[in-house]
Structure 1
């Protein structure tokens, strides 16, 4: 099955800005990646996507020109919108890539996910399945959705994510040894992975 990645990068990052300054975009904040190289957060996310994920979309705000430039440099298609939240962004990206056999929902502020964890999540995805990584008993990201969930994903609105769809499927929990699946950069202190 060919899985299309949707990188959600249209949030305002208000908690990060409250601590770092109103002009600071967490997606562009420098952080040291798993490979020891310092890059912006969104670039670390794109670097960590495994080669098996060929089709990639980044959803972001029209004014985030540096994010758009990085996304295009990594071969991603870009969807710009002024989003009311995660649900709306996800619905728009699924609609734009509705020929996909499945989707991998990646958060643009999670720069420390191992590529091997992503590969485990997408491996064995079926049209009617949902696969989610589990670290220390907690659901993490990214989450993979089979093609049958297209209509449900496109019906999402506002800031509600796709967790509501979990009740409509036999969700496969994928155990991983990867704290990165739970690590989002909501505040500047979380830019340093330990």
Structure 2
């Protein structure tokens, strides 16, 4: 089924160095670590593809998350909104991506919340373009979200998707994701 939402392009961030994964004993890069026979990034991309939303992978090895986000927004400059999705969220569900994209049509920023924890992807409408293009360094878009939250322009979207808060930063995170993946498949 094709899903056509002109409000959002999913920006899959895959430029990080994965230093915490290596420091925790991981071999290689976390996005290439295998989770049930496929690289972590492939699980994330499968959900993005299944969402039907337009998408862009930013994997050019930028020095920080802010630089990656700014580069991805530049590469998709004609979009009317963006969902910022780190590539290390292999359990994210396609429906969650569509839900955040739909919410973004009515606010400046839409952010998923799972059991009280803020997750990803965070959606940003076109009015955030300049703020996103100005990002640089290690800091991601949290400042943009905070700015709009202070102005009451953020929609917090309650989701049942644990994939919004299950990222893979360490070997232990990968093991946890593997357990959650197996539990999901057994349902």
TM-score by length of 2: 0.83
Superposed CA RMSD? 1.6
1:118 to 75, 97, 122: 97
2:154 to 154, 166, 171: 171
**How far apart are 1:52 and its partner, in Å?**
2.6
Corresponding residue for residue 13 of structure 1: 18
Deviations 1:4-23 (A, max 9, x none): 111111111011112335x5
Q: Distance in 1 between matches of 2:8 and 2:73?
A: 12
Corresponding residue for residue 120 of structure 2: 141
Secondary structure, counterpart of 1:134 in structure 2: strand
Question: Is the 2:7–2:125 contact (alpha carbons within 8 Å) kept by the matching residues of 1?
Answer: no
Question: Is the 2:7–2:104 contact (alpha carbons within 8 Å) kept by the matching residues of 1?
Answer: no
**How far apart are 1:127 and its partner, in Å?**
7.4
Q: Distance in 2 between matches of 1:154 and 1:193?
A: 37
Q: Distance in 1 between matches of 2:52 and 2:97?
A: 10
Question: Is the 2:7–2:101 contact (alpha carbons within 8 Å) kept by the matching residues of 1?
Answer: no
Residues 1:188 and 2:167 aligned together: no
Q: Indicate how the Cα distance of structure 1 residues 125 and 47 shifts in structure 2: closer, same or farther if over 3 A, else same.
A: same
| Stretches of structure 2 lacking an aligned partner (at least 5 in a row) | 1-5, 181-187
Corresponding residue for residue 133 of structure 2: 154
Q: Indicate how the Cα distance of structure 1 residues 8 and 90 shifts in structure 2: closer, same or farther if over 3 A, else same.
A: same
Corresponding residue for residue 108 of structure 1: 87
**Structure 1 outlier segments of 4+, above 3 Å:** none
**How far apart are 1:2 and its partner, in Å?**
3.4
Question: Is the 2:32–2:40 contact (alpha carbons within 8 Å) kept by the matching residues of 1?
Answer: yes
Question: Is the 1:130–1:144 contact (alpha carbons within 8 Å) kept by the matching residues of 2?
Answer: yes
Q: Distance in 2 between matches of 1:124 and 1:174?
A: 8
Secondary structure, counterpart of 1:57 in structure 2: strand
Secondary structure, counterpart of 1:123 in structure 2: helix
Question: Is the 2:96–2:159 contact (alpha carbons within 8 Å) kept by the matching residues of 1?
Answer: yes
Secondary structure, counterpart of 1:20 in structure 2: coil
Structure number having the greater helix percentage = 2
Residues 1:89 and 2:68 aligned together: yes
Residue-pair matches, total:
167
